[in-house]
C-alpha cells in the first residue's frame, strides 16, 4: 500500500457565525511524496481539490504557517493543546475550513510510515532530471 486516505466531515465557515458541514478526504500518495491532497465533495457533480505540501500541513498543526493561497494554523483548547486545524484556501475568494486536529495528526503519522520525513527526495536521480530539463 503506497497511499493513505482520511475521510472527514469538516466545517466550512461561511461567516463567523455560520458553519456548514462538508465531506472531505485527505489523501497521500508515496509516488508524489511531497504533497497531500484535500478534496471537498458536495451535493453537486463536481468536487474541489487542493494540493499542498505535507510539511505545510504538519507545521500548521503546531503554528501559523503558509502564505498565498494556503494558510494553516492550530486552534487551541483551554489547556493549550491543539483542538482543531483551520485552513484558509484561496486568493480573491477565500474559504475558511476547520478540521478536527487529532485524526489529521494520526493520519499524518501514517503517511510518515509510507515515506519518512526528510526522505521524500531520496529516490530522485538528479543527473537524469537535469538531462531532461536540458532537452
Cell of 9: 466531515
Q: b vs e for 56-83, b when ≥16 Cβ sit within 10 Å of the residue's Cβ?
A: bbbbbbeeebbeeebbbbbeeeeeeebe
pLDDT at 97: 94
pLDDT digits (tens, 9 = 90+) for 26-45: 999 998 999 999 998 876 77
Q: Strands 82-89 and 35-41: what pairing?
A: unpaired
Give pTM, 2 decimals: 0.86
Q: Angle CA(107)–CA(112)–CA(117) in degrees, nearest 5?
A: 135
Residues 78-109 pLDDT 10s? 998 889 999 999 877 789 999 999 999 999 99
Angstrom distance (rounded) from CA 125 to CA 103: 35
Of 124, 127, 123, 110, nearest in space to 36 by CA? 110
Instruction: Please give the domain boundaries of the chain with CATH numbers for all domains.
Output: 3-134 (2.30.31.20)
Amino acid at each position: 500500500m503506497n497511499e493513505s486516505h482520511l475521510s472527514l466531515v469538516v466545517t466550512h465557515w461561511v461567516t463567523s457565525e455560520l458553519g456548514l458541514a462538508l465531506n472531505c478526504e485527505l489523501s497521500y500518495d508515496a509516488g508524489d511524496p511531497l504533497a497531500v491532497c484535500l478534496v471537498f465533495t458536495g451535493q453537486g457533480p463536481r468536487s474541489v481539490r487542493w494540493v499542498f505540501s505535507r510539511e505545510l500541513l504538519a507545521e500548521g498543526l503546531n503554528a501559523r504557517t503558509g502564505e498565498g493561497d494556503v494558510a494553516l494554523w492550530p486552534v487551541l483548547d483551554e489547556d493549550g493543546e491543539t483542538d482543531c486545524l483551520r485552513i484558509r484556501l484561496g486568493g480573491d475568494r477565500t474559504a475558511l475550513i476547520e478540521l478536527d486536529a487529532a485524526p489529521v495528526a494520526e493520519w499524518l503519522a501514517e503517511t510518515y510510515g509510507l515515506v519518512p520525513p526528510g526522505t521524500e527526495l531520496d529516490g530522485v536521480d538528479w543527473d537524469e532530471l537535469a538531462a531532461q530539463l536540458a532537452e
